[in-house]
Structure 1
Amino acid sequence: MTGTAAQPGPAGDIGVLVVDDHAVVRRGLSAYLESADGIEVLAEAVDGKDALDQLQRLVAEGRPAQVVLMDVLMPRMDGITAIRAVLAAHPHVRVVVLTSFGELERVHAALEAGASGYLLKDADPDEVAAAIRSADRGEVHLDPTVAGRLTRRLVSPPTGLAALTARERSILALVARGMSNHQIAAELYISERTARTHVSHILAKLQLTSRTQAALVAIREGLVSPPDTYGGAT
C-alpha cells in the first residue's frame, strides 16, 4: 500500500485517487493534478485491491474520493474488475480509465463495467483534468482517438454474425448441425434452391469458402454448442 499524497485542499475540490502499478506514472499524474485548479489528489494505489483499501481508508478519515483515475492492466486485481468492485462498494465514486490500450474490446468492457471516462496515456494533461471534472459532473469523457474508433465502428457495415439476418443465422445453425441443403429446406419449409441461396449468402457475408468453416464459426460464436455438431454435408 502506498502513502497519501497532499493534505486536504480547499473545500469543493474534486478528491482523486490515482491507481497505477507504475510508481513513475502515479507520481507524474499526482504532480500534475495537484497543480490543476479544483482537483486534489487524496491518495495513490498500486492496483485494484489497494484502491479499494485506500477508498475505504479515505472514507474512514472523512475525506472520501469523488473520482478514481484507474489503469487497466495491473497485478492482483485488474482495472475492469476493480471498476466493478469500486462502484459496488462506493456507488457515488466515478472511475476514469487511463491506459495505454485503446482496443475497442477494452473500451467496451470498461464502459460496461461502469467507467465514466476512457483516456489513453498519451493524452494531454489538461484532457486528464477535463475528464476528471466531467466524471465528477456525471458525464462521460472519451479520448478523441477512442471516440473516433467507436464512431467508425457504429457507422461501418456490420461484420460476422451481426451481418446475418435472423433467417440466415437459423440456417447457419442448421449447417453447423450437419444438415444438407435438402434437409434445411425440409426443416424450414422452403425450396432447396432457396436454402442453397441462403447458404451462399451466409458464406459470402462471413467471407468463408466452405460449410465446414461456417460450422466452425457458428460453434466459436456460440450459435450452437460443439456436442450438437458433426461432420457437415457437402
Structure 2
Amino acid sequence: MDKIRILLVDDHAVVRSGLTMLMNVQSDMEVVGEAADGNEGIAKALELKPDVVLMDLSMPHGRDGFSATSELKKVMSNVQVLILTMHDDEEYLFRALKVGAAGYVLKSAPGNELLHAIRTVYKGEAYLYPTATKRLIEGYLKFAEKEEEDSLELLSPREKEILSYVATGYSNKEIADKLIISVKTVENHKAKIMEKLQLTTRPQLVKFAIKKGLLELDE
C-alpha cells in the first residue's frame, strides 16, 4: 500500500520530532521531510513532492504559513496543505482557507484527530475541527445576509416600487396602470430586477420583498 508522504513545516524542532514519531508508526504514513519556515517548506516541497504538507501558521523567522500555503498552491496545485496551529481564531481560519488550505487542526487536538485529518485531506476532502465548522457556517450566513442587503441597493427606486407591487400580487397591467407606464416597460423592469437579484421565479421575488419590507406601499 502506498504511504501518505508528509512534509512537516514548523519552527519548533521538538514539535516536528514528536509529529514524526506519531506519523511514522502509522502503516499508511511517512514523514519525508521537515522545514523550519515557509521558504524552506516551499523548497522542500518542490524537491520531495509530498502528498500532504502539515503547515504551522506562526513562524517568526522567514515566510509564515499563510504566505507559504498561498505560494505552494500556485506552484503545486495538487499538494494538500493541512494547517496545524495553536490559533483557535476564526480570522486565522478564514485566511487559511482563502489561501488554499485543505484543512485546519489545532495543536491541542488529540493525536487521532490529527491522523484522521491527514487521511481526510489526502483523499481530496476538506477537514475542519468541530467548532471551526460551526464558525465557518456562521461566517457564511453573515456573509450571505450582508450580500442580500447589498443586493437591494442594486435596484433603482422605480424597480423597488415595481417589486413591491409584484410581491403584493398586482398583475403587469395593473402595475402599468398605477404607474402610468406600458405593460412592456413593466416586463422589462421585472426582467432587470430578477437579473440583478439573481432570482428566477415570482415566489422568490415575493420572499425577497417580504424579507426586505417592500410590501407596504402608499396608495
The normalised TM-score by structure 2 is 0.64
Q: Tell me the residue number matched to 1:101.
A: 87
Q: Tell me the residue number matched to 1:70.
A: 55
Secondary structure of the structure 2 residue equivalent to 1:17: strand
Specify whether residues 158 and 131 from structure 1 end up closer, same or farther in structure 2 by C-alpha distance, changes over 3 A only: same
Gaps of 5+ in 2: 159-219
| Cα distance per residue 1:183-225 (max 9 Å; x no partner) | xxxxx79xxxxxxxxxxxxxxxxxxxxxxxxxxxxxxxxxxxx
Q: Tell me the residue number matched to 1:205.
A: none
1:169 CA drift (Å) = 9.1
Q: Tell me the residue number matched to 1:28.
A: 18
Q: Which has the larger radius of gyration?
A: 2
Q: How many aligned residue pairs are there?
A: 158
Q: Tell me the residue number matched to 1:176.
A: none
Cα distance in structure 2, aligned partners of 1:91 and 1:167: 38
Specify whether residues 157 and 112 from structure 1 end up closer, same or farther in structure 2 by C-alpha distance, changes over 3 A only: closer
Specify whether residues 45 and 153 from structure 1 end up closer, same or farther in structure 2 by C-alpha distance, changes over 3 A only: same
Q: Tell me the residue number matched to 2:68.
A: 82
Q: Which amino acid aligns with 1:73?
A: S
Secondary structure of the structure 1 residue equivalent to 2:84: strand
- Give matches, 1:178-217, under 5 Å: none
Cα distance in structure 2, aligned partners of 1:90 and 1:165: 36
Secondary structure of the structure 1 residue equivalent to 2:118: helix
- Give matches, 1:54-203, under 5 Å: 54-58=44-48, 64-74=49-59, 75-155=61-141, 164-166=149-151
Q: Tell me the residue number matched to 1:195.
A: none
Structure 1 residue runs of 4 or more that deviate by more than 2 Å after TM superposition: 151-159, 161-170
Specify whether residues 87 and 156 from structure 1 end up closer, same or farther in structure 2 by C-alpha distance, changes over 3 A only: closer
Cα distance in structure 1, aligned partners of 2:46 and 2:21: 23
Specify whether residues 126 and 78 from structure 1 end up closer, same or farther in structure 2 by C-alpha distance, changes over 3 A only: same
Name the one with the larger helix percent: 2
Q: Which amino acid aligns with 1:41?
A: V
Cα distance in structure 2, aligned partners of 1:122 and 1:98: 9
Specify whether residues 146 and 53 from structure 1 end up closer, same or farther in structure 2 by C-alpha distance, changes over 3 A only: same
1:57 CA drift (Å) = 2.7
1:53 CA drift (Å) = 1.7
Specify whether residues 20 and 156 from structure 1 end up closer, same or farther in structure 2 by C-alpha distance, changes over 3 A only: same
The percent of aligned pairs where both chains have the same amino acid is 35
| Cα distance per residue 1:79-127 (max 9 Å; x no partner) | 1110111122222211000111122222111112111111111111111
Secondary structure of the structure 2 residue equivalent to 1:51: helix
Q: Which amino acid aligns with 1:50?
A: E
Secondary structure of the structure 1 residue equivalent to 2:42: helix
Q: Which amino acid aligns with 1:146?
A: A
Q: Tell me the residue number matched to 2:27.
A: 37
1:51 CA drift (Å) = 0.5
1:55 CA drift (Å) = 1.7
CA root-mean-square deviation:
2.6
Q: Which amino acid aligns with 2:58?
A: L
Gaps of 5+ in 1: 1-10, 59-63, 171-187, 190-234
Cα distance in structure 1, aligned partners of 2:143 and 2:120: 32
Secondary structure of the structure 2 residue equivalent to 1:68: strand
Specify whether residues 42 and 157 from structure 1 end up closer, same or farther in structure 2 by C-alpha distance, changes over 3 A only: closer
